Structure formats: structure tokens, C-alpha cells
């Protein structure tokens, strides 16, 4: 308040105390004696008062200003927080849009340049969805304001430098626009990661004009039209959390041994457990599942896979168990929890605790921001905490070669339950309906897949190629059912295996592979038994060599059909054998006349009970059929001839007879599982049986010998050289060559023709089959004595009778019989009766090599051959299972290059691995039938191979192979010891040279993948990696432009040499590890958002008034209807922190 000036009358006469101090003690009076007026006092007081008032006013204005600034600051921070929320909401909308289509793909895209100034990789997450109407892939960068790349017919990487183009379309969302201002110098959530480019998204006000009311000047300054009022902006980018190992899911249990865990399937036994060996899975007795059980160890030390715990560094072993123990997994709920687990001592796992300096010390990090400690760096950059599992609807993907993408896959477990095969013998009518459904399903979605059939000849009555091609698909379908069902019998479209009614055999379309015996060698002996004057006794005795090619013990009753459609010639008399059975001498105690059997046509030998261990070969002798024949009145018969009707250069050979093997499995108590027999094996074409003449002295007995699946030939005609797979005899449309008994027969062991050993058909060399495998023990030497019978103990191999573990482990057909599937990679065990002549349309007396059988040459063969070529193809079969996870035949393997090799397919339409995209097995982890037979598959710890780092991919792959305990580094090496199996591993000794890294790099270089199955063919070795790859005997071979999974090197100068020597299961193990733990899309993401509040001056200058940055872990949870389709998606925040 202002104080008015004072007059003299109002002046005080008292001397102020304070003024005394200022004026001193001197007295000042006028000369006339009056007292003087004190004017100085009034001035000082006035100034003091004015100063106080000024301070008060200024203070009041300052307080008001500070309050306005504080209010504006809080408003700006709130506005920045709202911008962060808007950015998160926008990211959620983008993610939900990308995942509404359950066949969408998420993949990492390298940016330009690929490395930042600290040599860190620059990548951006991209979503891709297929527009079935336009038949185009549409892309959406998961970073704010980045323009969508151009659509394309094939899923592929976008154009270079796409990230530099800001979005201009209106699809970015309401009330936001993207401008050309790139968001720079913003905080990053991790010190080792390169900055992800993105653009600011501007936020504008809506509604009435804005302005203050307290001051006209302020109102005039702040008032702007709302459409020009930019008040905030945000930027964001999305990262994939499923590109990392989930520590709450992967790794071994605390009860496992103190060494890197890898399932040793058959090291000490071959009898399959209730749950078959599935690479990449681990199931303990409590039914707790773990995926990629060795991945934590291989992440920490991918170069080390010791066989004994003594060679393991103790500190790494305890760290491994601290991270993977069950009690630790329960705590792995946040991405940083591994730090807390390692810092704290744990007496349960003997973990002493981690020194903090290794995480936060001055030398803890490298210049690029990564931790210096190799193990800790691997954990920090390649793992995450708990990720909630979720379900996906199992749908056929989109892609070249696939038709009707988006339709549902077939659940094989549901089919097994519906047919009854999940619990026991399948209902025949339901089985045939299921086989037809599966084959139709394959043909609908893969219309060219049936071309794999080549010369497939079933059914015999069909002249239409299309019918036989469909029958080939049915054979695969039957094999899929038989692999897992519990009946131990083949699925055949005709009841009783085709022997129930006349003409049935001609209508057989397929035979599945199950746990039953097959014929490995067949003998028919003709013997002049006794001269009786006018009559003679002559006998026919059949011997069969049974082979159990599977990994199961086969127990049951077997019998063979007696069939000799030739004639006996005694002097001038001739007796057709089959119509002369009334002349069988049933009074002879050695004779057993073949009899009819219920459900089977023809005459059958007395059944015998048999038990065959895995890979066991056993010779059975049936009772001789002794004929008493009238030689006529002269009575001077000294010899008998068995001959047929086919005349060739004066030889009359029998080309009308077949063997037939019928089987009836028995249970553990010896009781028959089914009351009737099923014909499980017979040759497609009648055998070649030569004319044989026996007499009273020498030769008194002779043999016709046939070895299924090996050499096919008519007397003095051309050879068709097959590899010796007995399973193939069911399909090969040619006559089995008649084998010399004394020089070519090999009873009791692997087929071995000592007189032709230098030729391909001289021996069944299992290790050289297209599938690979291991040679079992052959007969020690040729018989060299026609008077020794095949069941003589003198001929048995010295090892096989003891049925050693090593011999059992060499089985060639893996069967589950578990009643269900646990993984679709089990389809790699299905026998594949593809039939192609490796030489094209010529075969007569032309040599064929194992290498030609092993890789059908696309330059020589045609997928759609002429009829002349088909006539040649139907003579060759065997040694193949579906190649799922190992190198496919060149004729079927797609070539993804711009200029593919001649004859190679341009897509996956005929590759066996594509079957993984048509079938599923529900929730493989479930024990409830409703879950593993339903339409959904469970994603629980699966890694997105389209976004995973090389270290993560390497962790899934690396480690000792264990599916094949007979593994050799090279054919010709000594047999491995079961206690110390050969170690072949894709180890990782350096980032650029070692094999596991090269394999992981091949996966990354050939991204993106529409489906994990595509990796099997698309991930090929580049020239650069081939040149720098370490060549070590312990490493698996790889070759340029060849898929990195399951490659077997065949020596170009030696057709009998392969590297490595392994079975199909061993070759497919690495891919199975990857496939069983992988996906190509994600629902768990890290969203990094920055929001800024803005103020624009009258001159148009924009100022940032507040900045907020946060990271969010979000889970886009699908909420499903009863039929499995998505009803809605909820974006759930599972973790958040400020930057």
C-alpha cells in the first residue's frame, strides 16, 4: 500500500531510535532558537516502504509464475504419458491386426546399413499376411510411421532401405499422421542393441478453439485452430520376445544327471518306451514336459558335449543347474530374473552366487555394450522370462505348391481314436475311410505330390495312372496310421491282406508299415525222396527267412501259403503240383499236407509261433509236402523234373508262383490278438523259379532261391538292380531273380551273394541305402553244399543267434505303436514306396550305382514321365522313408534360386517335408484326449525361427547326436561301443567357422519362412560359409547349395563310401530338434514407446516440453470360440518399466 506524504504539523517531534543511530548525537538548531524539521527521515521511510511493497508484488507475481510453470510442467508430463499410451495402443492395434490371421508371419528384416557404428546388427520386425483374394503377401513394419513395403506374390525380404520411407497412407490410424521427422537420439532399452529407426506420429487436439481467460495477450498468443494444433507425438517399435529362449520352459530338470542332457534313445536298449524318442522333447515320470532340453547348456557352452561328468567345468555345470532346476524355473517370471537367480547363492544346486562385478564392474561390458563374459552375454541377449503358452488353430499355410491355404489340417490323433487304432486293432471299414480321407486331403492341398509315385503299380487291375498315383498317397496314409496304432498289422484296403476272396489281390492298393515280419529270403526245395518201383516219392519243402525290420519285438503265429504252380515230370507223365495234392502221402510221418485256413484262400502250412527281436533274422522250415507219384508200368523212374510253362531258350521255368506270408500277432500271454490271419507280405510279381531236375543219386535235392528287394531278372534277360530292401518286394513289378543256392544264398543273415559281391545286387548293403543305416551280420560264407538245408545250424552266423545289442540297434524301420503322435516329425519314419529307375527309361543290363539310388537326378528324370519311362520305373523301389529333415531327392527338392537347376521343382509341392503342413497332432504335451485330438496346437516355449538370433538357433541345434547309437563318422570305421558312442556334433568353436553356427547362419540367410517345415529345403549352405567352414572329422559334412540338415556325403570316386554312416533317424535328428521347438509367428512382444508433449510458438517453432519413454512386454492373448476360431484378442501388459 502506498503511504501519502506528511505535512509539518503532522511530523513527529520525538527522535526515532533508529534515526539516532544514523544521525549521531549532534544537535542542530536554527539561529532564531527554533527546532529544525527532519526531512531526511521521511525519505528513508518512504523508500523502505516502497521497497517492501515492490518485493511483495514481485514475490506475488513470481509465485503465480512458478505455479503456472509447475502446472504447465505437470500438464506436459501427463501429455507425454498420454502420448506413450497412444503409442502403445497403436502398436496393439497393429499387432492384433497382424495376428487376426492365424497364418501371419513375423520376421526380422536387416536394415541399411546392416550394422551400426558399433558393429551391432540393425533389424526391424515385420508382419506379413497373405491376401487370398489378391494372392499377395502384404507387409507391415512394426515401427511407427514406416511405410509398408510393396506387396509380393512370394514371402520375401522387402526392398533395400524400405525403413527410410515414411508412411503416407491413412491406415496409420485416426487423429495421427506420420511426418518425415525421424525419431532420433531416444533411449534404448538395452545397451547392446542398435537403434531401430522409426518416425514420429503427431497427435492433434480436437474440439473448440483453445485459449486462456486470465490475460488477453496470453489468449491471443495461444489461440490456434484445432486442426493445426500439434500437442504431442509418439514413436514406437516392436521386438519379438519369442525369438529368445524362455528360461521358464527350456532346459533339463533338477533330477537329471550332472552333464549336458541329451536323450540317449537306444544306447542300452532298443525296446521303445511308452513315449517314443522325440528329438527336442523331454518328458519325466511326472509328465512334466520340457522343450529343447539341452538348449540352456548349448547356449552357455555350444562347443562342449562331454560323455562323462568329469570333463565338465564345475562352475558351468552348477550355473546350468541353477538356471534349469524346477525351483528356479518357478522364479523366472521376468526378463531380468536370471540375474537375481545367479547373484543369490543356492545350496540346492551348489551354486555359490555370482560376483556382481561380472555384471556391473568397470570392465563388465565391451565397447558395443555387450557383456564381456561369454556365458552372461548369451543369457542377457538370448533369453527371456516366462512367456504364457497359448493355442493356435492348426491351418494349412499359404505358399507356392500349396492349395487352399487357410483350411484346417487333419489331426492324426483324432483319426487314430476314431478308427480304434489308438487302443487296439483298428476297425477295417473305418480304417479304409480314414486312409481315403487322408489321401484326398494330401491331393487337395498338394496336387503335384502324387507325382512322387513314379512307377507305383498298385492296384494291379488299374490301367489309369491317376488311380495308381492316388493309391501311392493311400500307401503313405496307411503308413501314417500303422506307425502309431496299436495292432501290429498292416493297413490294407482288402480284408485279410487280400487273401480272403478270389481276385482280392488284384485290387490291393496299399500296405502300411507296422510291427510285423517280412520275407527276407525264400527257398523251395525239390527232393527225390524214395524210389518204390512203379511209384516214387518226391517232396517240396518251403523255407522262409523271416526278418523283423522294426524296433519292436514281434511275437505271433506265422504261416506261408504253399504255391508251386509248376509240374512234376516222371518219364512220359506230368503232374500239375497244385491239382495233385490228393497224391500227398499223408501216412508219411514227416509229411504235413497244407490245409485251408479260415479267412484265407489257398493251402497253408501248419502255423508256427515265432518271436523276433528287433532286426532279427530267423529261418523257419515248414514240413515237407511229400507226393507219391505213379511213374507208369515200366517202373524205371530214376529222376523227377519240376518245370513251369514259360519256355525261354528251351528252359521251362515257373513264373506263376508266389510266396505269401500270413501273420497273427499274439499278446504277452500268448493269446491271439485277432482270430484271423492277415497276409502281411507277398511279391507283386510271381517269382522266377528255374526248372529243376533231381534223381536218386546226385543231385538228390535242388533249390529255387529268391531274395526279395535285391536283384530282379528273368533268365538271360536284363537286370533291375535294387538295393536289397525286402519291404520293396511288395511293389516291384518284375520277377525276383533266381539265386544260386550254393553260391548266392545266405540263410540266417543279411542277404549276401558271395559270387556277385563286387556288384550292387551282390549284397544288401544297408548303409548305402538311400535312407542309410548299418549292415547287420551276413552269412559267414556261401553254402557250397546243396545237401545242407537253409535251417541247418552249420549255416547260422556266429553273432546273430545271440541277438546282440549291437545287432538289434541296426533295425531299419522305426515304429511307435504308442496309440498317438507326439510330433509330426515322426512322419520321417514312414516307408516311402517311390519307384524310379535311376537311369531314366533304360535299364536292361545297365549298371546302377548306390549314389543314383540315393539321389534321383532331376536332370535325368521327369516328374511326369512317359508310359515307356513308367514301365522302367516300376522295376525299382526300396530304401526310402519320407525325407523330413534330411536332404530330399533332387527330383523333389525345390530350388529357390532365381535360375534353378534343370528339372528341379520351383516350390515345395512334391517335397516330403510339406506333409508337416497338412497334418498335426494337437497339443503334444497333453494327456487328455480332448486336447491332443482337438483342432488346436499348443505354443509353449517355441522359438520364432524368423526372428531368433544365431546364438538362439545354435542352442536348439548344437549337441551330440543320439538317435542312432550305431553312428559312425565314416563307413568302414570300427563298430562303436554302446557305452561310449561316437560323438558327432554340430559344435561351435568360433562364430564364423564351426558347424552349428554355419547351420544357424543358413537359417538366417534364407529367411523368411512361411512355416518351420520350409527350413528343411530352404536353409542351404552359402558359398561363403562353405569356404570358411571348419573341416573336422567330428563335424557333420555340409555342401554348397545343399540343405544343411541331414546331408550324407557320398564319395564321388568310391560308390561304397559315405560320411557319416547313420540311419534316417540320425540324419533327421537335428531338424526334429529345431522343428519341435519352433514357430514362424509370435504373440509375445516388447514394445518400446517414446511420447513427447509439444508446444508451438506463434512463429511456428515447436518445442518439446516433456519426454517419457517406457518398454512394455505385451501378450496378444487369443480368446477363442468353441470351434477354435478367434473371437477377440486381448493385449495384456506382462511387464513394464521406464527408460
Is the N-terminal amide bond of 107 cis, ω within 30° of 0? no
Residue 1078, helix vs strand vs coil? strand
- Based on DSSP, count helices (H) and strands (E) in the chain, helices before strands: 22, 41
Distance of alpha carbon 222 from alpha carbon 90, whole angstroms: 29
Written as nine digits, the cell of 953 is 538357433
Helix (H) or strand (E) holding 1067: helix 1064-1075
Q: Return the C-alpha torsion angle 434, 439, 445, 446, nearest 10.
A: 160
532 with 635: CB under 8 angstroms?
Answer: no
587-to-394, 539, 629 alpha-carbon distances in Å: 66, 14, 14
Residue 51, helix vs strand vs coil? helix
DSSP code for 86: H
Looking up cell 501314417 gives 480
Residue 417 CB burial class (10 angstroms; 0-12, 13-18, ≥19): middle
Residue 928 CB neighbours (<10 A): 10
Per-residue confidence (pLDDT) for residue 290, from 0 to 100: 64
Helix (H) or strand (E) holding 538: strand 535-547
Which residues lie closer than 8 Å to 1100 by C-beta, 6 or more apart?
none
Residue 740 CB neighbours (<10 A): 17
105 alpha carbon, distance to own chain's centre: 17
588 with 537: CB under 8 angstroms?
Answer: yes
Residue 1136, helix vs strand vs coil? strand
| β-strand partners of 881 | 831
301 alpha carbon, distance to own chain's centre: 23
142 with 127: CB under 8 angstroms?
Answer: yes
Written as nine digits, the cell of 1136 is 513394464
870 with 466: CB under 8 angstroms?
Answer: no
Distance of alpha carbon 375 from alpha carbon 458, whole angstroms: 58
Dihedral sign computed on CA atoms, order 702, 704, 710, 712: positive
* Domain regions of the chain by residue span: 80-233+1082-1138, 393-484+817-932, 515-808, 942-1076
Per-residue confidence (pLDDT) for residue 988, from 0 to 100: 54
State the 10-residue block means of pLDDT for the chain, 1139 residues long.
Answer: 38 37 36 49 77 72 56 80 96 96 97 93 97 96 95 96 84 47 76 92 68 44 58 94 90 55 52 75 62 77 62 73 74 83 85 91 94 92 93 96 97 97 91 98 98 96 92 98 95 92 93 97 96 91 97 96 96 93 95 94 96 93 97 80 84 95 87 87 96 92 97 90 97 96 90 83 93 86 86 68 78 94 96 93 77 94 90 95 97 93 94 98 88 95 95 87 86 77 57 71 96 97 83 77 94 93 94 95 97 87 91 97 96 94
Distance of alpha carbon 1016 from alpha carbon 1020, whole angstroms: 9
Extended beta strands in 548-606, E state: 554-560, 567-570, 573-576, 595-597, 600-604
Residue 652 CB burial class (10 angstroms; 0-12, 13-18, ≥19): middle
DSSP code for 903: T
- The residue among 126, 127, 91 whose CA lies nearest residue 110 is 126
Written as nine digits, the cell of 298 is 548349448
Distance of alpha carbon 476 from alpha carbon 443, whole angstroms: 12
Per-residue confidence (pLDDT) for residue 909, from 0 to 100: 97
Which residues lie closer than 8 Å to 985 by C-beta, 6 or more apart?
305, 958, 959, 960, 961, 996, 1034, 1035
Distance of alpha carbon 165 from alpha carbon 149, whole angstroms: 9
Written as nine digits, the cell of 992 is 564364423
Which residues lie closer than 8 Å to 854 by C-beta, 6 or more apart?
768, 769, 770, 1048, 1050
Helix (H) or strand (E) holding 1129: strand 1126-1138
In degrees rounded to 5, what are phi and psi of residue 1029? -70, 140
| β-strand partners of 829 | none
Side-chain-side CA neighbours of residue 428 (13 Å): 12
Written as nine digits, the cell of 202 is 503427431
Written as nine digits, the cell of 604 is 497253408
33-to-14, 429, 724 alpha-carbon distances in Å: 18, 146, 151
- The residue among 1117, 1137, 1085 whose CA lies nearest residue 91 is 1085
Written as one string, the DSSP assignment of 296-353 is: HHHHH-TT---SSGGGS-HHHHHHHHHHHSHHHHTT--STTHHHHHHHS-BTTTTB--
Distance of alpha carbon 645 from alpha carbon 742, whole angstroms: 26
Which residues lie closer than 8 Å to 21 by C-beta, 6 or more apart?
none
422 with 411: CB under 8 angstroms?
Answer: no
Residue 548, helix vs strand vs coil? coil
Per-residue confidence (pLDDT) for residue 55, from 0 to 100: 77
- The residue among 955, 953, 942 whose CA lies nearest residue 1079 is 942
In degrees rounded to 5, what are phi and psi of residue 46? -60, -45
Looking up cell 522343450 gives 291
Distance of alpha carbon 886 from alpha carbon 1069, whole angstroms: 9
Say if strands 281-283 and 1084-1096 run parallel, antiparallel, or are unpaired: unpaired
Distance of alpha carbon 939 from alpha carbon 174, whole angstroms: 34
| β-strand partners of 652 | 647
1060 with 1047: CB under 8 angstroms?
Answer: no
Per-residue confidence (pLDDT) for residue 993, from 0 to 100: 55
Written as nine digits, the cell of 876 is 525299382
In degrees rounded to 5, what are phi and psi of residue 577? -60, -50
Distance of alpha carbon 955 from alpha carbon 44, whole angstroms: 87
Helix 428-445 and helix 412-419: axis angle, to 10°?
A: 160
887 with 1042: CB under 8 angstroms?
Answer: yes
Distance of alpha carbon 587 from alpha carbon 66, whole angstroms: 126
Looking up cell 548306390 gives 850
Per-residue confidence (pLDDT) for residue 255, from 0 to 100: 53
Written as nine digits, the cell of 176 is 495421427
DSSP code for 698: S
Side-chain-side CA neighbours of residue 251 (13 Å): 28
Amino acid at each position: 500500500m502506498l503511504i501519502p506524504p506528511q505535512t509539518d504539523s503532522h511530523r513527529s517531534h520525538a527522535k526515532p531510535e533508529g534515526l539516532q543511530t544514523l544521525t549521531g548525537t549532534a544537535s542542530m538548531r536554527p539561529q532564531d532558537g527554533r527546532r529544525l524539521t527532519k526531512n531526511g527521515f521521511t525519505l528513508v521511510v518512504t523508500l523502505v516502504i516502497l521497497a517492501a511493497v515492490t518485493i511483495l508484488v514481485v514475490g506475488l507475481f513470481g509465485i503465480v509464475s512458478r505455479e503456472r510453470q509447475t502446472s504447465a510442467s505437470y500438464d506436459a508430463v501427463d501429455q507425454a504419458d498420454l502420448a506413450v499410451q497412444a503409442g502403445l495402443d497403436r502398436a496393439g492395434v497393429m499387432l492384433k491386426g497382424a495376428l487376426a490371421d492365424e497364418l501371419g508371419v513375423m520376421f526380422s528384416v536387416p536394415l541399411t546399413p546392416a550394422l551400426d557404428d558399433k558393429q551391432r546388427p540393425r533389424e526391424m520386425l515385420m508382419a506379413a499376411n497373405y491376401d487370398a483374394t489378391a494372392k499377395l503377401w502384404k507387409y507391415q513394419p512394426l515401427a511407427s510411421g514406416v511405410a509398408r513395403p510393396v506387396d509380393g506374390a512370394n514371402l520375401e525380404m522387402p526392398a533395400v532401405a524400405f525403413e527410410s520411407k515414411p508412411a503416407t497412407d491413412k491406415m496409420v490410424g485416426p487423429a495421427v499422421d506420420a511426418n518425415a521427422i525421424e525419431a532420433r537420439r531416444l533411449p534404448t532399452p538395452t545397451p547392446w542393441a542398435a537403434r531401430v529407426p522409426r518416425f514420429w506420429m503427431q497427435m492433434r487436439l480436437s474440439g473448440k478453439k483453445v485459449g486462456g481467460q486470465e490475460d488477453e495477450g496470453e489468449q491471443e498468443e495461444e489461440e490456434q485452430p484445432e486442426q493445426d494444433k500439434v500437442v504431442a507425438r509418439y514413436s514406437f517399435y516392436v521386438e519379438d520376445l519369442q525369438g529368445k529362449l524362455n528360461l521358464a520352459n527350456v532346459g533339463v530338470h533338477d533330477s537329471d544327471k550332472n552333464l549336458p542332457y541329451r536323450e540317449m534313445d537306444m544306447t542300452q536298449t532298443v525296446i521303445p518306451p511308452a513315449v517314443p524318442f522325440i528329438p527336442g522333447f523331454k518328458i519325466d515320470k511326472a509328465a512334466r514336459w520340457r522343450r529343447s532340453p539341452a538348449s540352456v547348456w548349448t547356449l552357455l557352452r555350444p562347443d562342449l558335449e562331454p560323455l562323462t561328468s568329469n570333463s565338465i567345468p564345475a562352475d558351468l555345470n552348477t550355473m546350468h543347474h541353477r538356471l534349469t532346476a524346477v525351483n528356479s524355473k518357478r522364479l523366472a517370471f521376468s526378463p531380468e530374473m536370471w540375474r537375481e537367480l545367479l547373484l543369490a547363492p543356492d545350496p540346492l544346486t551348489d551354486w555359490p552366487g555370482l560376483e556382481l562385478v561380472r555384471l556391473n564392474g568397470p570392465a563388465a561390458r565391451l565397447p558395443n555394450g555387450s557383456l564381456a563374459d561369454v556365458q552372461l552375454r548369451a543369457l542377457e541377449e538370448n533369453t527371456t522370462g516366462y512367456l504364457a503358452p497359448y493355442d493356435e488353430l492348426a491351418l494349412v499355410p499359404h505358399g507356392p505348391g500349396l492349395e487352399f491355404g487357410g483350411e484346417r489340417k487333419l489331426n492324426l490323433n483324432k483319426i487314430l481314436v476314431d478308427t480304434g487304432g489308438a487302443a487296439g486293432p483298428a476297425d477295417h471299414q473305418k480304417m479304409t475311410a480314414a486312409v481315403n480321407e487322408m489321401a484326398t486331403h494330401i491331393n487337395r492341398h498338394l496336387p503335384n505330390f502324387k507325382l512322387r509315385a513314379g512307377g507305383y503299380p498298385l492296384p494291379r487291375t488299374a490301367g489309369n495312372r491317376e488311380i495308381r498315383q492316388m493309391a501311392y498317397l493311400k500307401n503313405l496314409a496307411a503308413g501314417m496310421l500303422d506307425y502309431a496304432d496299436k495292432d501290429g498289422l498292416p493297413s490294407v484296403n482288402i480284408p485279410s491282406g487280400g487273401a480272403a476272396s478270389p481276385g482280392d489281390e488284384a485290387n490291393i492298393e496299399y500296405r502300411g508299415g507296422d510291427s510285423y515280419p517280412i520275407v527276407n529270403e525264400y527257398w523251395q526245395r525239390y527232393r527225390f525222396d524214395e524210389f518204390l518201383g512203379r511209384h516214387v516219392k518226391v517232396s517240396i519243402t518251403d523255407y522262409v527267412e523271416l526278418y523283423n525290420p522294426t524296433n519292436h519285438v514281434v511275437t505271433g503265429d506265422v504261416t506261408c501259403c504253399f504255391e508251386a504252380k509248376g509240374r512234376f515230370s516222371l518219364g512220359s507223365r506230368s503232374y500239375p503240383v497244385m491239382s495233385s495234392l490228393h497224391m500227398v502221402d499223408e501216412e508219411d510221418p514227416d509229411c504235413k499236407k497244407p490245409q485251408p485256413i479260415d479267412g484265407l484262400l489257398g493251402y497253408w502250412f501248419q502255423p508256427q509261433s515265432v518271436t523276433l527281436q528287433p532286426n532279427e533274422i530267423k529261418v523257419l522250415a515248414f514240413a515237407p509236402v511229400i507226393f507219391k507219384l505213379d511213374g507208369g508200368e515200366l517202373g524205371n523212374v530214376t529222376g523227377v523234373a519240376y518245370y513251369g510253362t514259360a519256355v525261354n531258350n528251351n528252359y521251362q521255368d515257373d513264373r506263376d508262383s508266389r510266396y505269401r506270408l500270413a501273420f497273427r500277432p499274439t499278446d504277452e500271454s500268448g493269446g491271439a490278438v485277432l482270430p484271423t490271419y492277415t497276409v502281411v507280405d507277398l511279391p507283386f510279381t510271381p517269382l522266377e523259379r528255374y526248372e529243376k531236375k533231381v534223381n536218386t543219386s546226385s543231385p538228390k535235392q535242388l533249390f529255387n532261391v529268391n531274395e526279395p528287394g535285391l536283384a530282379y531278372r528273368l533268365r538271360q534277360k536284363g537286370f533291375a538292380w535294387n538295393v536289397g530292401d525286402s519291404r520293396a518286394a511288395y511293389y516291384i513289378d518284375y520277377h525276383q531273380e533266381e539265386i544260386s543256392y550254393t553260391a548266392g544264398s545266405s540263410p540266417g543273415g543279411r542277404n549276401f551273394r558271395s559270387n556277385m559281391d563286387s556288384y550292387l545286387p551282390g549284397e544288401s548293403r544297408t548303409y548305402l541305402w538311400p535312407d542309410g543305416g548299418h549292415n547287420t551280420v551276413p552269412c559267414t560264407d556261401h553254402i557250397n553244399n546243396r545237401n545242407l538245408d537253409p535251417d541247418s545250424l552249420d549255416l547260422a552266423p556266429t553273432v546273430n543267434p545271440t541277438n546282440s545289442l549291437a545287432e538289434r540297434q541296426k533295425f531299419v524301420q522305426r515304429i511307435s505303436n504308442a496309440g498317438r503322435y507326439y510330433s509330426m516329425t515322426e512322419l520321417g519314419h514312414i516307408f516311402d514306396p517311390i519307384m524310379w529307375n535311376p537311369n531314366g527309361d533304360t535299364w536292361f543290363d545297365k549298371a546302377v550305382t548306390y549314389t543314383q539310388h540315393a539321389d534321383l537326378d532331376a536332370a535325368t528324370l521327369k516328374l511326369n514321365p512317359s508310359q515307356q519311362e513308367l514301365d522302367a520305373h516300376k522295376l525299382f523301389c526300396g530304401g526310402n522313408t519320407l525325407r523330413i529333415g534330411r536332404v530330399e531327392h533332387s527330383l523333389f527338392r525345390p530350388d529357390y534360386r532365381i535360375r534353378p537347376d534343370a528339372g528341379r521343382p520351383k516350390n515345395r509341392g512334391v517335397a516330403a517335408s510339406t506333409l508337416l503342413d497338412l497334418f498335426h497332432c494337437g497339443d503334444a504335451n497333453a494327456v487328455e484326449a480332448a486336447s491332443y485330438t482337438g483342432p488346436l496346437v499348443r505354443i509353449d516355449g517355441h522359438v520364432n525361427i524368423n526372428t531368433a538370433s544365431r546364438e538362439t538357433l545354435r542352442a536348439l541345434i548344437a549337441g551330440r547326436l543320439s538317435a542312432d547309437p550305431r553312428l559312425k563318422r565314416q563307413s568302414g570305421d570300427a563298430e562303436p561301443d554302446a557305452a561310449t558312442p561316437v560323438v558327432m556334433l554340430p559344435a561351435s568353436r568360433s562364430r564364423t567357422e564351426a558347424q552349428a553356427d554355419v547351420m544357424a547362419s543358413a537359417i538366417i540367410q534364407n529367411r523368411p519362412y512361411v512355416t518351420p517345415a520350409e527350413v528343411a529345403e530352404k536353409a542351404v549352405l552359402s558359398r561363403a560359409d562353405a569356404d570358411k567352414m571348419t573341416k573336422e572329422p567330428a563335424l557333420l559334412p555340409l555342401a554348397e547349395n545343399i540343405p544343411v540338415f541331414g546331408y550324407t556325403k557320398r564319395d564321388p570316386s568310391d560308390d561304397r563310401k559315405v560320411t557319416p554312416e547313420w540311419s534316417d533317424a540320425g540324419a533327421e535328428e537335428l531338424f526334429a530338434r529345431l522343428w519341435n521347438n519352433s514357430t514362424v509367428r509370435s504373440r509375445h512382444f516388447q514394445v518400446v514407446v517414446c511420447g513427447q508433449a509439444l508446444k508451438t510458438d506463434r512463429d511456428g517453432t515447436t518445442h518439446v516440453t516433456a519426454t517419457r519413454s517406457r518398454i512394455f512386454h505385451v501378450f496378444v492373448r487369443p480368446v477363442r470360440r468353441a470351434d477354435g476360431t478367434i473371437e477377440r484378442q486381448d493385449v495384456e501388459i506382462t511387464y513394464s518399466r521406464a527408460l
